[in-house]
Chains A and B, each alone.
Chain A
Amino acid sequence: MEWIQQLVNGISLGSIYALIALGYTMVYGIIKLINFAHGDVFMLGAFIGFYAIARWEMNVFLALILAMILCAVIGVIIERVAYKRLRNATRIAALITAIGVSLLIEYTVIFFRGASPSAYPTIFETSNFEILGVKISTQSILILSVSIFLMILLQFIVHKTKIGKAMRAVSHDADAARLMGINVDNTISATFAIGSALAGAAGVIFGIYYTRIDPLMGVLPGIKAFIAAVLGGIGIIPGAMVGGLVLGVVETIVSALGYSLWRDAAAFVILILILIIRPSGIFGKNAREKV
C-alpha cells in the first residue's frame, strides 16, 4: 500500500514538472532557446493566482484562467523585448539573456513585495479519498485532472489547429516556413504565449497543492522542468510530459528509499546520465543536428 501511496505522491509532483516542462520544450523546439526565465513565469503565475484568490476573491478556476492569460501576455512581452532581437545572435548570447531576464523578474518581484513567503488560502477543505488504504486528497485529483486536461488541449492545439501546424512547420525549418508564407514572428509569439500560459497554470496548481509561494520558488522547479524536458527529448511535447512524470516518480522513490537528502542530486544525476547515454532523450531520434 505504501508504494501505491508513493506513486500517487510522485505523479502529483511529476505532473507539475510536466506542465512547466511543456513550455520549455516548446520554446526550445521552435527557436532552440533554453528559456531560463520560464521558471519565473511559473512563479508569476503562482502570485497572480494568489492575489486573484486571496485579494480579489475569485473562484479557483477563474483565477487559473486569469493567471494563464496574464502569463501568456508576460511571455510574449519577454520574447518581444528580450529575445526577438537576438534571434540571429549566437545561442550563448540568447542563453545569457534568458538568465538575465530570469534574475530581473525574480528581483523585481522581491522589490515590490519582499522575499518572505506567502501562503495560499485554503480553497476547499481537504477531504481524502481512501482507496485500499491509500489516501488521495481532492487536491491531488484536481492537479492531475487539470494537468491532463491542459496536456490534451495542447496536443489538440499542436496537431489539429492552424497555429499548431505553423508551429510544427517553424520548428522543422523556420526559413522554409517563411518562404511558404507563414508569419514566423507571430508563430514564435504564439509558442511563448502557450508555453507561458501552461507555466502560469502550473504556478497556480503548485500554490494550491504546496501552499507556500515565494519570489524564488521558480528556480528549482524551473531547472527540474528543464531536466524533464531533456529526459524526454528536448523539443518533443509528449517527451516533456513523460519526462516530467518520470522525474517526479524517481524523486519520490529516492525519498521513499530513505535518501530524501539526495532527491535533488538524483535529478541532476539523471540529467548527466541522459546527456552521456542518450543526449536526444527518451523520445528523441538519434539525428545529427543541422549546422
Chain B
Amino acid sequence: MTHKNKMKKYGSLFMATALLTGALAGCNTDGDTSSSGGSGNSASDVIKIGANLELSGGVASYGSSIGDGAKLAIEEINAAGGIDGKKLELITVDNKSENSEATTAAIRLAEKEKVVAMLAPATSGNSVATVEIANKYKVPMVTGSGTSPNVTVNENGTVNEYAFRTCFIDPFQGTVAANFATKDLGAKNVAIFADNASDYAKGLAASFKETVVANGGTVVAEEAYVAKDVDFKSTLTNIKGKNPDFIFIPGYYEEVGLIVKQARDLGIDVPLMGADGWDSPTLVDLAGAEALNNTYITNHYSSEDPDANIQKFVEAFKGEYNEAPNAFHALGYDSIYFIVDAIKRVDGDITSEAIQKQLAATKDLSLITGTFTVDEFHNPVKSATVLEFVNGKQQFNSKVNP
C-alpha cells in the first residue's frame, strides 16, 4: 500500500513539474513571439539577417570576431540609409561551438525569426551541420571562415544550393602558395613537410604539389609529421639532404613553430611557407622572431594592406572596437556586404530564394578580403594575400591571384 501511495505521490509531483515547465516554456515562447512579432508587424521596413555564431565554447573567439565584423557592417549600411529605405536587423544566436546547437540555432533563425539570409557558423564542422536546414527552409547561409570544401559541396559532389562562403577553400591556399613559390620566389626544387593528421594540411599539400609540377617545378622531398610531435630534426635533416630551395609546411602553429625553429637550428635557411594555420601570436613565441625571417604565409587579408578600402575599414573598425581587425573580423564584415549586395540586386520582393539566385550570380564584387566572383561550387574566386614575417611581425608582401 505504502508503495502505491509513494508512486501516486511521485506521479503527482511529476505532473506538477511537467505542468509548471510547460507553463514556463509557454511564457517563454509568448515573450519571444511578442518581441519578434513587434518587428514582424513592421516587416516591410526591416530586413532580418540571422547570425548563427560561436559566441561561447571552444572556438568562441572565431565566432565573436565574425559577429563584431558583421555588426560593424550592419551599422554602416543602416547609417547610410539601409537598402531602399529598409533597415537591416542582425539577429544573433549563440551555437555554443557545438554541431547540434548550430542546427537548432539555424532552425530557430529560419523558422521563427524568418530571416532572409544568415551568417553560418565560423567553423567548417558547425557550418556543415546547418547546411541541411538552409536547404530545407530555402534560406541562404554564408560562412565567413568555414574553409572545408564540404560546406558548399556535399559528399556526392553536388552543390548545396543554399550554402555560400566568403573565405577561400583549403586547397586554394596550396595553389596560391605554389604560384608564389615558383613565380615570385623562383623556386625550382621544393620540399613539402605536411601535418598528416589533418585534412586541412593534406588538402593544401596536394594542391601545392599539383600546381608546382604544373608550373615546371620539382618536388624533391615529401615528408609528413603527426600533430603533437615535438622532434622534427631527423626528418628535417633528411629534407636538408635533398637540397630544396623552398619548403612548404602546411599545418597548425603548435607544430610549425617548432619545425621552423628546428629547421633554422639545422642550418636550413631557404624560404619556408605555410597558410592561415600559422596565424597565431604563439607561433612567434615558439619559433622565435629571428627564425621566422624569410617565412611566408597565405592569409585572407592583411590589416597592413595599403589598399584604400582596406585602410578605411581598418580605421572604422579601430574606431568601434579599439583594435586592429583580424582576418575573422574582415570575413564577418565581408559576409554582410556579400549578402547585402545580393539583396540590392533582387528585383521585386526580397525573398530568400531570390537572394540565393543573386548570391550565386555575384561577379567582381570588391570587398575587403578580395574581389569576389562566385564559382559553380559557390566558392569565391578571389585573390589571396601573402604575408611575410619580418622580425616576428607579419608584413604585407603581395596579393596573389588564383
Chain A residues near B (Cβ < 8 Å): 2, 5-6, 9-10, 12-13, 116-119, 122, 126, 128, 130, 135, 137, 139, 210-212, 217, 220, 251-253, 255-256, 258, 260-261, 264
Contacts and interface: CB of A to CB of B under 8 A. Distances in A.
B288 interface: yes
A116 B94 CA distance: 24
Contacts of A116: 282
A6 B224 contact: no
A6 B282 contact: no
B224 A13 contact: no
A260 B224 contact: yes
Contacts of B288: 122
Interface string B195-232: 01000000000000000000000000001111010110
Contacts of B266: 5, 135
Interface string B232-267: 011101101100000000000010011001001111
B286 interface: yes
B230 A255 contact: no
A258 B225 CA distance: 11
Contact of B237 (A5, A117, A210): A5
- The A interface is mostly helix, strand or loop, or mixed, namely helix
24 contacts: A2-B238, A5-B266, A9-B231, A9-B233, A12-B233, A119-B282, A126-B264, A126-B265, A128-B267, A135-B266, A210-B230, A210-B258, A211-B261, A220-B228, A251-B234, A252-B233, A252-B234, A255-B235, A255-B238, A256-B234, A256-B238, A260-B225, A261-B196, A261-B224
Interface string B53-67: 000000000000000
Nearest to A213: B230
A5 B268 CA distance: 13
B285 interface: yes
Nearest to A264: B226
Contact of A211 (B224, B233, B286): B286
Given A217-B230, A258-B238, 18 more contacts: A2-B237, A2-B240, A9-B233, A9-B237, A13-B231, A119-B285, A122-B288, A135-B266, A135-B267, A137-B265, A139-B265, A210-B258, A220-B228, A251-B234, A260-B223, A260-B224, A261-B224, A261-B226
Contact of B254 (A13, A117, A260): A117
A212 B288 CA distance: 12
Given A119-B282, A260-B225, A212 B230 contact: yes
Contacts of B226: 261, 264
B234 A119 contact: no
Contacts of B240: 2
A212 B282 CA distance: 10
A42 to B, nearest CB: 13
Nearest to B289: A122
Contacts of B233: 9, 12-13, 252
B34 to A, nearest CB: 41
B231 A210 contact: yes
B234 A260 contact: yes
Contacts of B286: 117, 119, 211-212
A14 B234 CA distance: 13
Nearest to B234: A255
Interface in B267-284: 267, 282
A212 B267 contact: no
Contacts of B258: 210-212
Nearest to B238: A256
B269 to A, nearest CB: 11
Given A260-B223, A260-B225, A261-B224, A10 B254 contact: no
B234 A9 contact: yes
Nearest to A249: B234
Contacts of B231: 9, 13, 210, 251-252
Nearest to B226: A261
Interface string B279-299: 000100110100000000000
B257 A212 contact: yes
A111 B264 CA distance: 35
A117 B281 CA distance: 12
Contacts of B234: 6, 9-10, 251-253, 255-256, 260
Contacts of A126: 264-265
Q: Which 6 A-B pairs have the closest CB atoms?
A: A119-B285, A255-B234, A9-B233, A252-B234, A210-B230, A260-B235
Contacts of B267: 128, 130, 135
Contacts of A212: 230, 254, 257-258, 286
Contacts of B225: 260-261
Contacts of A220: 228
Nearest to A206: B230
A280 B234 CA distance: 30
Contacts of B264: 126
B223 A211 contact: no
Nearest to A258: B238
Contacts of B235: 255-256, 260
Given A6-B234, A212-B254, A258-B223, A135 B228 contact: no
Contacts of B257: 119, 211-212
Contacts of A256: 234-235, 237-238
Most buried by B among A13, A126, A211, A220: A211
Contacts of A139: 265
Q: Which of A128, A212, A220 has the most CB of B within 10 A?
A: A212
B265 A128 contact: yes
